C-alpha cells in the first residue's frame, strides 16, 4: 500500500507539472467568432438568437444553460482544458466573471455574426468589429489587473481561436432577403469575405496576437436545417451539395490565406483548423464514431429547431444526445465538439504545445 501511495503521489506531481508546463506555453485562450464558439455573450444583448434556457446546457456543469448553442461544452472549452487551463472559456459580457477570470481565457464571440457586418445585422448580434472593440477594452483591463509586462506576455503568448464564416453564407448571402447576392457572384462574395478575414488577422496582429488558429467552415449543406429544406419530403435526407462545394472552395481559399499570413507577418504563427472532412465522416458514417443519428438533430423534430424553437417542453427531444451528431438544427452536440477538439489538438494545435 505504501508503494502504491508513493507511485500515486509521483503521478500526481507529474500531471501537475505537465499542466503547469502547458499553461505556461499558452497562458490563455482568446476567442472570436460565431455560435460555434460563443459561450454566452448573446445573453447580454437584445437579440432573439439566444440559448440560455433549457434544454441547452443540460449536459454542461451543474446542467446549466449558459448561452452555448450545445447540450454541453464547445471547442474552446475542450481546447482550454487540453492546454492545462480551465475546462471552459467564459463570455466577456457575462457579469458572473471578471478580469481575474478573463486573464486565462475569454470569449468575445457572438452567435449569428460573420466576417461581413451585414451578417450581424440579420439577427442584431455583435459584429466582428465590435468583438475587436471589446478585445481592446479587455487589454486595458488586463494591464490594470496584471501589470504592463504580464499583460503583454499574456497577449503575445495566448492562443487566438477564430471560428466564423458559416453565417455569412447561410444567414446572409443565401437568404431570401440578401442584398449581397445582388452585389456579388458567389466567387466575388468569397473574395470579399477573404479580404475581411485577412484584415481581421492583421488587426489583432497589430494588437499583439501571435498564435492564431483560423477555423474553416463546416459541410454546411449537411446541417439538419439545410438537409430538411433541401429535401422535398422534408424528412432530413439529402445534403445540399451546392453549399458543401462552396464550403470546400472557401476552405481552400482560407488555407491559402493562412500561408500568406505566415509569410507576410513577422513572428506570427497561423494554423488552419479544418474539420470539414472529419465532420462529414461523422455525418456519413456515424456508427464509426459511436453515433446512431446524423441526419436530424436531438432537439425537437431535429429538422428546424434552434434557439427559442428548441424548447424544453418538446416531447420529441432525444434523451441521450451522445447518440446524435447534431444537438439542434444548426449546431453539433457536446460529443461531436469533443471529437473535433481532440482531432484539432492532435493534428493542428499540437505545434503550440
CA-to-CA distance for 148 and 165, rounded, in angstroms? 34
Catalytic residue among 34, 94, 274, 328: 328
Cell numbers that stand for 335 in this block? 460529443
Beta-carbon-side half-sphere exposure of residue 319 (alpha carbons within 13 Å): 0
94 given a catalytic annotation:
no
CA-to-CA distance for 45 and 346, rounded, in angstroms? 36
CA-to-CA distance for 168 and 179, rounded, in angstroms? 12
Long-range contacts of 131-134, Cβ-Cβ distance < 8 Å, separation of 24 or more = 131/32, 132/32, 132/108, 132/200, 132/203, 132/204, 132/207, 134/92, 134/93, 134/108
Of 102, 146, 109, the closest CA to residue 34 belongs to: 109
331 given a catalytic annotation:
yes
What are the residues facing 215 on neighbouring strands? 273
Residue with cell 463570455: 91
Catalytic residue among 35, 110, 178, 295: 35
35 given a catalytic annotation:
yes
What are the residues facing 214 on neighbouring strands? 162, 272
Cell numbers that stand for 80 in this block? 482550454
Catalytic residue among 213, 295, 331, 334: 331
Of 219, 220, 218, 239, the closest CA to residue 228 belongs to: 239
Q: Which residues are catalytic?
A: 35, 328, 331
Amino acid at each position: 500500500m505504501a508503494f502504491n501511495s508513493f507511485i500515486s503521489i509521483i503521478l500526481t506531481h507529474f500531471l501537475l507539472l505537465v499542466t503547469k508546463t502547458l499553461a505556461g506555453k499558452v497562458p490563455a485562450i482568446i476567442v472570436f467568432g460565431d455560435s460555434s464558439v460563443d459561450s454566452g455573450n448573446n445573453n447580454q444583448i437584445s437579440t432573439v438568437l439566444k440559448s440560455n434556457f433549457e434544454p441547452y446546457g443540460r449536459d454542461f456543469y451543474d446542467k446549466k444553460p449558459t448561452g452555448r448553442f450545445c447540450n454541453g461544452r464547445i471547442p474552446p472549452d475542450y481546447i482550454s482544458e487540453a492546454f492545462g487551463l480551465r475546462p471552459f472559456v467564459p463570455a466577456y459580457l457575462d457579469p458572473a466573471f471578471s478580469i481575474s477570470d478573463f486573464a486565462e481565457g475569454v470569449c468575445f464571440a457572438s452567435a449569428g455574426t460573420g466576417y461581413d457586418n451585414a451578417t450581424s445585422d440579420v439577427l442584431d448580434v455583435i459584429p466582428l468589429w465590435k468583438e475587436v472593440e471589446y478585445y481592446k477594452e479587455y487589454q486595458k483591463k488586463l494591464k490594470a489587473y496584471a501589470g504592463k509586462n504580464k499583460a503583454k506576455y499574456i497577449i503575445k503568448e495566448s492562443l487566438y481561436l477564430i471560428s466564423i464564416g458559416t453565417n455569412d453564407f447561410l444567414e446572409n448571402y443565401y437568404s431570401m432577403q440578401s442584398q449581397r447576392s445582388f452585389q456579388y457572384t458567389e466567387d466575388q462574395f468569397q473574395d470579399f469575405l477573404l479580404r475581411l478575414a485577412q484584415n481581421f488577422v492583421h488587426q489583432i496582429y497589430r494588437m499583439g496576437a501571435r498564435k492564431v488558429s483560423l477555423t474553416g467552415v463546416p459541410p454546411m449543406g449537411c446541417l439538419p436545417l439545410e438537409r430538411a429544406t433541401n429535401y422535398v419530403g422534408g424528412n432530413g435526407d439529402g445534403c445540399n451539395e451546392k453549399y458543401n462545394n462552396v464550403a470546400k472552395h472557401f476552405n481552400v481559399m482560407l488555407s491559402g490565406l493562412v500561408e500568406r499570413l505566415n509569410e507576410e507577418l513577422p513572428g506570427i504563427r497561423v494554423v488552419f483548423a479544418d474539420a470539414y472532412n472529419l465532420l462529414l465522416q461523422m455525418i456519413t458514417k456515424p456508427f464509426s464514431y459511436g453515433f446512431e443519428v446524423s441526419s436530424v438533430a436531438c432537439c425537437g423534430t431535429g429538422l428546424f429547431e434552434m434557439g427559442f424553437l428548441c424548447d424544453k417542453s418538446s416531447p420529441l427531444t432525444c434523451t441521450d444526445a451522445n447518440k446524435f451528431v447534431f444537438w439542434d438544427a444548426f449546431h453539433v452536440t457536446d460529443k461531436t465538439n469533443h471529437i473535433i477538439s481532440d482531432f484539432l489538438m492532435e493534428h493542428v494545435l499540437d505545434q503550440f504545445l
